[in-house]
């Protein structure tokens, strides 16, 4: 059995693990994201030496930003400025003398679902990540469509509200789960960090402020999903992020889609919406699938 080191650089922590060629997770561990690239490379080195007895075949990275998988350089922006510019793929290959592949984190999450998860039975799908903002991926023939500027799947930039006589213009990310909670905190004049997101979503009908903003969240999701269906016409739309753990998520979105389809009676293609299967493990599994796909195509 072949083994791989898979690493996911997230918003606050680096999660890494030992996976076999079938995508089974053998071990995982997480550490806080460091303050410099040199320290990040030290984390990667510690992970590598921790698993070197398994004769690692390669390293698969899931990273934020506009990742150019071919060159190994990350463009765009993220919470960690120091990852943008250096050739991380080349640096690690020179350091460890084994192949390294790198891909965007949302794309990795989508690939996990395409490989063995909620979208494994279709060729074309959209993957939505709902959290700090709205991100995602477009999958065509089981491959990520990145676009010429590596911004394919950046659904959060889509305009969700535009009025020529009003400002500001709102994007889909303005109604992400985190931003909705921040809006609630602002209106209630309380510290955002004191809010319990699960409790708010569980009981939003019991508080008019909760209800206003949670409704905005679900309507925004329904609006975005409707637009994606008619822009790309995927076979499935899969939702990831922390919100995907809610059992009522799909029902809440479908209730709003019911209203949209009753309003636009000419629209007959109903989106098939599912929550993701792998949740917090998706980026590791998807990074491995990307690695395996790249290595077999060379």
Residue 119 contacts residue 113 (beta carbons within 8 Å): yes
* pLDDT reported for residue 297: 57
Q: What is the pLDDT of residues 112-169, one digit of tens each?
A: 999 999 999 999 999 999 988 899 999 999 999 999 988 899 999 999 988 878 778 8
Mean pLDDT of all residues in 99-107: 95
Q: How many CB atoms lie within 10 A of CB 60?
A: 29
* pLDDT reported for residue 79: 83
- Please state whether the predicted TM-score (pTM) of the whole model is above 0.85: yes
Helix (H, G, I), strand (E, B) or coil at 276: coil
Q: How many CB atoms lie within 10 A of CB 163?
A: 9
Cβ within 8 Å of residue 101, ≥6 positions away = 58, 59, 60, 61, 69, 89, 287, 290, 291, 294, 295
Q: How confident is the model at residue 298 (pLDDT cuts 50, 70, 90)?
A: very low
Give the helix/strand (H/E) hosting 183: helix 177-188
Q: What is the pLDDT of residues 16-62, one digit of tens each?
A: 999 999 999 999 999 999 999 999 999 999 999 999 999 999 999 99
Q: What is the pLDDT of residues 227-282, one digit of tens each?
A: 999 999 999 999 999 899 999 999 999 999 999 999 999 999 999 999 999 998 99
d(CA 218, CA 152) in angstroms, rounded, equals: 23
User: Would you report the helix, strand and coil content of the chain in percent, each value rounded to 5?
Assistant: 45, 25, 30
| Cα–Cα distance list, 15 to 5, 31, 61, 269, 285 (Å) | 11, 7, 10, 39, 12
Beta bridge partners of 238: 127, 274
- Pairing assessment for the beta strands 100-104 and 125-130 based on DSSP bridges: unpaired
Phi, psi (5° rounding) for residue 41?
A: -65, -30
CB-based burial, 237-271: b 16+ in 10 Å, e otherwise? bbbbbbbbebeebeebbbebbeeebeeeeeeeeeb
Helix (H, G, I), strand (E, B) or coil at 72: coil
d(CA 233, CA 125) in angstroms, rounded, equals: 8
- Pairing assessment for the beta strands 66-68 and 73-75 based on DSSP bridges: antiparallel
* pLDDT reported for residue 161: 86
């Amino acid at each position: 059995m072949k083994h791989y080191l898979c690493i996911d650089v997230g918003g606050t922590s680096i999660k890494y693990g030992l996976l076999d060629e079938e995508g089974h997770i053998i071990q995982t561990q997480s550490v806080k994201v460091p303050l410099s690239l040199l320290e990040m490379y030290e984390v990667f080195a510690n992970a590598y030496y921790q698993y070197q007895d398994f004769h690692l075949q390669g390293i698969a990275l899931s990273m934020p930003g506009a990742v150019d998988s071919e060159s190994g350089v990350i463009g765009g922006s993220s919470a960690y400025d120091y990852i943008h510019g250096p050739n991380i793929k080349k640096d690690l290959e020179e350091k460890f003398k084994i192949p390294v592949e790198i891909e965007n984190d949302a794309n990795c999450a989508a690939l996990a679902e395409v490989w063995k998860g909620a979208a494994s039975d279709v060729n074309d799908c959209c993957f939505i990540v709902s959290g700090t903002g709205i991100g995602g991926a477009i999958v065509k023939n089981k491959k990520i469509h990145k676009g010429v500027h590596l911004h394919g799947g950046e659904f959060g930039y889509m305009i969700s509200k535009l009025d020529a006589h009003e400002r500001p213009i709102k994007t889909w990310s303005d109604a992400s789960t985190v931003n909705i909670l921040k809006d609630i905190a602002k209106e209630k004049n309380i510290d955002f960090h004191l809010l319990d997101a699960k409790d708010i979503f569980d009981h939003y009908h019991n508080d008019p402020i909760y209800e206003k903003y949670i409704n905005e969240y679900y309507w925004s999701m329904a609006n975005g999903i409707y637009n994606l269906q008619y822009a790309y016409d995927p076979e499935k739309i899969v939702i990831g992020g922390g919100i995907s753990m809610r059992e009522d998520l799909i029902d809440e979105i479908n209730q709003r889609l019911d209203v949209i389809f009753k309003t636009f009676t000419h629209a007959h293609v109903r989106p098939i919406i599912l929550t993701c299967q792998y949740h917090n493990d998706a980026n590791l599994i998807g990074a491995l699938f990307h690695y395996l796909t790249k290595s077999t195509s060379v």
